[in-house]
Structure 1
Amino acid sequence: MSENDPLLNDPLLDEPQARRRWWKPSFDRRRILRWSLRGVVALLVIAALYYPVGMLLVHKIDDDPDFQAPATPEGASRAVALAAALIDREVGDYGWPSNDPFFMPGWALDNMPNYQQGIIAALARFSTEMRDQIGRVRGTSQVDPDLEKAAGQLSYSPTVWIFDFSTSWAPTASSEQQYLAAAKTLRSFNNRLSQGQAVFERRADNLQGTLDRIAADLGSASAVLDKQVEEHSGDWVDFQADDIFYATKGRLYAYGLLLRDLGTDFAPVIAERDLKAAWAQMVETFRVASTLDPLVVVNGRPDAFMRPSHLAAQGFFLLRARTQLREISNILQK
């Protein structure tokens, strides 16, 4: 501080007071308030955009009817390869928002999670049939260990994150870990099958039993659609309609692809029973049903003029596919 500083020469201030005032910083309260408000506004904008933008980035519903599994070795099952590839695509490539915690944007999605859960439900049913019927010589033979493991992994809850506080406070296996492990297990079965170390019984009764189980599962799905239409059709706002629609869509999509490739696996049986045309028609019905894609799912009255009933339309194609499954099953039984 200079000896000529006016603060030191002020007769009303002693030297210690003058020095303290000289070192006291000068704050612009209005500037601080302005920057604080800007920070708050920026945080609000980020928070407002986080979920909408994040949801757009995460959301993906892939209903490509021409989806194919990678080439399989000779002797392997095309349907099993398709199941593994579908898991890899949906869980590994697209992510699994069904178990996202609240601080992730996928937590706010509903259509994609329901669609993916419908796919996994269909794959779980297929893996069970593989374990109980197709993957065994007869009902009294030993269960294939890979198919046993895959059936359990695909039956795992779809909403488990790395913590499941309903059972334990310790970290646990997440849904996507279980499903990706199932894909790996199915590929292991297929590799063993191609080497003659596993069983894939291409018999008519096995195919018939699988079709009957799929038809029964679709019957359950049609009952859910029917209940929603009966109790809520005509409601201006039905928050459950899109959940049911996309869960059913996922089921139909996965079953359609599996049946397409089961047609290849059981080609001799289908040719022997002269079912090529009927099989192709059934697969086409699944394709049409699984590619319905309304901009907004509306649960209007079935006879409405302005507001359509997307659930009723989906239910029509579902029941048509189920009827065709039953027709083919009856032919296989003869």
Structure 2
Amino acid sequence: MSAEQSSGKAEPQASRPLSGAAEQAGAASASGKHKKANIARLGPVGLIVLVLVISGLGMFWSVQPKPFSVKENLAEMIGSDAISGDAAPASKVPGTAVVATQIRVAKTMLHKPGGYLRNDMLPPGVLMDNMPNWEFGVLTELRDSVRSLRNDFTRSQSQSIESPLLQRADSDFNFDSEAWFLPSAEEMYVDGVDNLEQFLEALVSGNDNSASFYARADNLRAYLEVVEKRLGSYGQRLAASVGDPELTAAIEGQQSNAAGEATEAEATAAEATPWTQIDDVFYEARGYAWALLHMMKAVRIDFAQVLRQKNAEISMEQILRDLEQAVVRKYSPMVLNGHGFGVLANHSLVLASYLGRTNAAIIDLRVLLERG
């Protein structure tokens, strides 16, 4: 065999391993490109999934809590025999319905789905504004009722000593609602709930002389005066959503006439609410109405005898009916801001109408307590 033939036969044998290495290198390169392509595709998919999860949580956390039964809540906290009567319920220990309702309202605000959101620094809470404003409305009413409990309901006269528990609770609930670190708003509000629970326990046991409750007409009237001002303010801000001075003047003029204090300057003082704040005002007013509904139901129980003596039960029923309509579920995902009899509704004006009717009924109730 010649050398040429030998070399010719050897060439294919030497080229085989080189060809296999090239194939392996090509396969590895293709696999690397395939992995990079998969990673490149997973990035947008992961981002979409993250956005969907955050959006879903945000929508779930934005659902307003349902109203609870004030009677059942009182029975759970201090026993089933805490209330006497069915048609016209009354608390056997005055003040227990008000304090138990304040505790439940505060716990609902703190422990609803998502917890307390107003001071959140991470998504989805930091991206939300409807529920945080609802929480602030609830907190506003809670502050008003706890302050009235401290200064009016538990004081026999102006020279009497206030309860240290209510003093601390009032201070706790007036802490900055957006504080998130050392201490956070939640920590202070939980401490306020603890003080209210201790006061409720002392009120039921009767062992603490500083834990008292005086269900008198003048005490209730002082609280209603605070509620009137809140409802008047919310009504004015809601009515200003359309930016129509004549419409705002008409709605505000009706509320002022009910109080007997209407002036042209007051009726036209409201400025148009910026479109970016319309939903903020709406949900804050809804939160206040939700908390006020439960508080007025508690007042009806603790002040049952006073309302009966002043023939004010019908006015109280009117207040509760209007507040129940003010907090019904809103099915539209957006707060619509139509005008007049246009195509779209105006949720702010609807809520302003119910709060205006509530305010008028509260004014009637206050007058009955004073003169009835």
Q: How many residues align?
A: 308
Q: Distance in 2 between matches of 1:93 and 1:297?
A: 22
State the one-letter code of the partner of 1:101.
Answer: M
101, 121, 140: which one pairs with 1:121?
140
Q: Distance in 2 between matches of 1:136 and 1:51?
A: 48
Tell me which protein shows more helix as a share of its residues. Answer: 2
In the superposition, the TM-score normalised over structure 2's length comes to 0.75
Q: Distance in 1 between matches of 2:289 and 2:57?
A: 28
Q: Which residue of 2 aligns with 1:14?
A: none
Contact 1:54–1:106 (CA<8 Å) still a contact in 2? no
Written as runs of structure 1 = structure 2, the 5 A alignment for 1:162-181 is 163=181, 172-181=182-191
Q: Which residue of 2 aligns with 1:139?
A: 158
How many Å apart are 1:34 and its aligned residue? 2.0
How many Å apart are 1:129 and its aligned residue? 0.6
In the superposition, the TM-score normalised over structure 1's length comes to 0.83
Q: Which residue of 1 aligns with 2:118?
A: 98
298, 302, 309: which one pairs with 2:336?
298
Q: Distance in 2 between matches of 1:191 and 1:53?
A: 40
Written as runs of structure 1 = structure 2, the 5 A alignment for 1:106-255 is 106-161=125-180, 163=181, 172-196=182-206, 197=208, 198-230=211-243, 238-255=275-292
Q: Distance in 1 between matches of 2:350 and 2:48?
A: 41
Written as runs of structure 1 = structure 2, the 5 A alignment for 1:252-263 is 252-263=289-300
How many Å apart are 1:262 and its aligned residue? 0.6
Structure 1: state its 5+ residue gaps: 1-5, 11-21, 164-171
How many Å apart are 1:41 and its aligned residue? 3.0
RMSD between superposed Cα atoms in Å: 3.0
Q: Distance in 1 between matches of 2:285 and 2:231?
A: 9
Q: Which residue of 1 aligns with 2:267?
A: none
Contact 1:222–1:315 (CA<8 Å) still a contact in 2? yes
Contact 1:241–1:298 (CA<8 Å) still a contact in 2? no
Contact 1:50–1:105 (CA<8 Å) still a contact in 2? no
State the one-letter code of the partner of 2:357.
Answer: R
Q: Distance in 2 between matches of 1:32 and 1:297?
A: 46
What is the percent sequence identity of the aligned residues?
22
How many Å apart are 1:125 and its aligned residue? 0.5
How many Å apart are 1:97 and its aligned residue? 1.5
Larger radius of gyration: 2
27, 35, 55: which one pairs with 1:32?
35
How many Å apart are 1:304 and its aligned residue? 2.9
Q: Distance in 2 between matches of 1:285 and 1:39?
A: 52
Q: Distance in 2 between matches of 1:317 and 1:206?
A: 25
Question: 1:97 aligns to what SS in structure 2?
Answer: coil
Q: Distance in 2 between matches of 1:218 and 1:86?
A: 19
Which deviates more from structure 2 when the two are superposed, residues 115-124 or residues 67-76? 67-76
Q: Distance in 1 between matches of 2:323 and 2:60?
A: 28
Q: Which residue of 2 aligns with 1:49?
A: 52
State the one-letter code of the partner of 1:54.
Answer: L
